[in-house]
Chains A and B, each alone.
Chain A
């Protein structure tokens, strides 16, 4: 199993870096309109911070910060945000995923679509970050505390 890293420098640096990397992930999510990036890339970076925590600070620290079951639910919630943003279209008489009819006070026309893109990018980021974290956790601790598949 993945242990806490021996070097105190590694541990300290990772502890200090993680919030900044997460901040950068949010930047990537929100700046996808203007530059390369978006929900998917931001979500992967967000997931990477938890992988980093596991590698440097050990599984115990990761378990303290996130619970896998909750992460999976977050992933489902992310996809739900995207889906429900899409379903708002039919509820307001337009096609599925037509953001032009999203109820945003004070904004009209294409900028509403831009905001719609932002909403679904947030959904994408949650969905991707959650799913990738679950995949990593499950692969990394497969076999931990279980009997082997008998032949």
Chain B
């Protein structure tokens, strides 16, 4: 029974968790966190099951309420959406586990906190499986509103950051809705597959170009695409560690996936109607983002802000791959969705653990980390290698496929940008590693050397998800070939 209803349950399971959270919180507040972890893990498990089913049976189309599209709402699970769902729910479930100890000290607030965290996950999962443009908008708003509130739990500066996020996020969602409205006005349909049939016959290419422009700008804001990333650095920097660890790795990925979905499944047949220049603009915007984000990351002294600008840069890779639109580049973009979710999750988990144990978010606070938190430091090293693109870490392979895609697409400048982005990552990640591994802490200079005594790893609830992501980054690197050829449908030779 379950395997027939996977598409809606990917969103309904975390949703049920979120609805039960306040009910459970009223009687047994201690059990809210385990409930959230269980709902997150169930979502991740269902995503894996969905991926297996899709690979075995082909694309699954689900008609809600039994109404055939375009009249009813359709959900679509294909290899790409199932893959993205696995990436988002997997990292999301680990972030929920991580949020337990990180959110300690908010007694009485567990129910709304974890309720909103599950709603965020439900919104993102709904966006990924949506086959209807308006349905995607509604799920986008669930995820966004939960995100604004979660960021604001940091208080103080986080409030201002959350307000800015809300204003820009609303502009993004509204422009997306406006673009959908233009498509509706010209075709009368909201269903993606139906639109794909009708778009090539459109009377006015101008309206189509404007509509797609609004959709790209709207989702571009949500995915933090330079120069539309204005909300992102402050939100990631000032959000509490548990929230940053949840939001930073996964929210932008769902928006990036939705953008790819619309550009390829709705507009796939509209080559002559201005899709090609739009994709070129997207690819170059991605290239600019890689460089601009990297340069700004180098100038930061706060670890979280450095990671935020690194996200701007890394999202540039994904936009670049989507824009190049050849099989190699797309395989790279999707592999990078998984890789970046894992490495950014890993680094934000580590940042939260370090802030809890070493006292602050500044890079200088990381000094002596390798002696006090050797496992955490090892994970940081793995994630940093992935960010730079050193094999066998996963990041190397996504950038490799992107590079192949850029060369095949006849874009040597963008290929150069991909390499330059790696060099920028070397610089900014080396600054992290330098403080974490090489520079001793002031008090270490004159205190003797007894590393066993000063070892202070984060509690297991934080360390386990961190280690899981560290191992995962290496595993994706090692098994990249079966993922790329078996799931993403790209064979290198």
Contact = CB atoms under 8 A, between A and B. Distances in A.
Interface of A: 69, 72-73, 76-77, 79-80, 83, 86-87, 89-91, 93-100, 149
Contact of A100 (B12, B16, B62, B66): B66
Which of B62, B63, B66, B156 has the largest number of chain A CB atoms within 10 A?
Answer: B66
Contact of A76 (B8, B12, B22, B155): B22
B5 A73 contact: no
Contacts of B1: 90-91, 93
A79 B8 CA distance: 16
B15 interface: yes
B64 interface: yes
Given A90-B1, A149-B156, A96 B22 contact: no
A69 B29 CA distance: 13
Contacts of A99: 65
Contact of B19 (A83, A98, A100): A83
Contact of B5 (A79, A80, A83, A90): A90
Given A69-B26, A73-B26, A95-B64, A149 B155 contact: yes
B65 A97 contact: yes
A100 B16 CA distance: 23
B23 A76 contact: yes
B386 to A, nearest CB: 38
Nearest to A79: B19
Interface string B234-251: 000000000000000000
Given A98-B65, A99-B65, A149-B156, A83 B22 contact: no
Contacts of A100: 66
B64 A83 contact: no
Given A79-B19, A95-B66, A96-B62, 10 more contacts: A69-B26, A76-B19, A76-B20, A80-B19, A94-B66, A95-B62, A96-B5, A96-B64, A96-B65, A98-B65
A77 B156 CA distance: 33
18 contacts: A69-B26, A73-B22, A73-B23, A80-B19, A83-B12, A83-B15, A87-B12, A91-B1, A93-B1, A94-B66, A95-B62, A95-B65, A96-B5, A96-B8, A96-B12, A96-B65, A98-B65, A100-B66
Contacts, number: 48
Contacts of B12: 83, 86-87, 96
Contacts of A95: 5, 62-66
A8 to B, nearest CB: 38
Interface in B144-163: 155-156
A100 B63 CA distance: 14
A86 B64 CA distance: 9
Interface string B158-192: 00000000000000000000000000000000000
A38 to B, nearest CB: 17
Contacts of B22: 72-73, 76
Contacts of A80: 16, 19
Nearest to B5: A90
Interface string B15-36: 1100110110010000000000
A12 B124 CA distance: 49
Contacts of A89: 65-66
A146 to B, nearest CB: 13
A99 B72 CA distance: 14
A32 B22 CA distance: 29
Nearest to B155: A149
- For the complex of A and B, list the 9 residue pairs with the smallest distance between their C-beta atoms, beginning with the closest: A98-B66, A97-B65, A96-B8, A90-B5, A95-B66, A76-B19, A76-B22, A98-B65, A80-B19
Contacts of A76: 19-20, 22-23
Contacts of A77: 23
Interface in B316-363: none
A80 B26 CA distance: 16
B129 to A, nearest CB: 12
B16 A83 contact: yes
A44 B153 CA distance: 28
B12 to A, nearest CB: 7
A98 B26 CA distance: 32
Interface in B91-111: none
Contacts of A98: 64-66
A139 B65 CA distance: 37
B230 to A, nearest CB: 24
Nearest to B62: A95
A107 B45 CA distance: 39
Interface in B26-69: 26, 62-66
Interface string B64-86: 11100000000000000000000
